[in-house]
Amino acid sequence: MPSASRKKLTQQMELFNYSCRAAGLKITHQRTLIYRELLQQPDHPTAEALHKRIVREVPSISLDTVYRTLATLEQHGLVNRIQTAESQARFEAVIAPHHHLICSCCKKVLDVEWPEFDHIELPENVRNWGTINSKNAVMYGTCTACAST
Query: Least Å distance between CB 135 and DNA?
Result: 23
Query: Least Å distance between CB 43 and DNA?
Result: 15
Query: Least Å distance between CB 115 and its own copies?
Result: 8
Tell whether residue 149 is a contact of its own copies (CB under 8 A): no
The amino acid at 126: V
Residue of 106, 113, 104, 110 whose CA lies nearest to 92: 110
9 binds, among its own copies, DNA, none (CB under 5 to 8 A by kind): none
Q: With contact defined as beta carbons under 8 Å apart, do 40 and 9 qualify?
A: yes
107 beta partners: none
Q: Which of residues 26-85 bind DNA (CB under 7 A)?
A: 26-31, 46-48, 58, 60-65, 67-69, 71-72
Question: What 3-state class would DSSP assign to 82?
Answer: strand
147 binds, among DNA, its own copies, none (CB under 5 to 8 A by kind): its own copies
Query: Least Å distance between CB 122 and its own copies?
Result: 7
Q: Which of 26, 83, 96, 149 binds its own copies (CB under 8 A)?
A: 83
Q: Which of 53, 68, 99, 107 binds its own copies (CB under 8 A)?
A: 99
Tell whether residue 146 is a contact of its own copies (CB under 8 A): yes
Burial call 56-93: b when 16+ CB within 10 Å, e when fewer: eeeeebeeebbeebbebbeeeebbbebebeeeeebbbb
> 36 or 108, CB closer to its own copies?
108
Kindly report the CA angle at 29 between 78 and 59, in degrees rounded to 5? 115
> 8 or 29, CB closer to DNA?
29
Contact residues for 47 (Cβ-Cβ < 8 A; gap 6+): 63, 66, 67, 70, 88, 89, 91
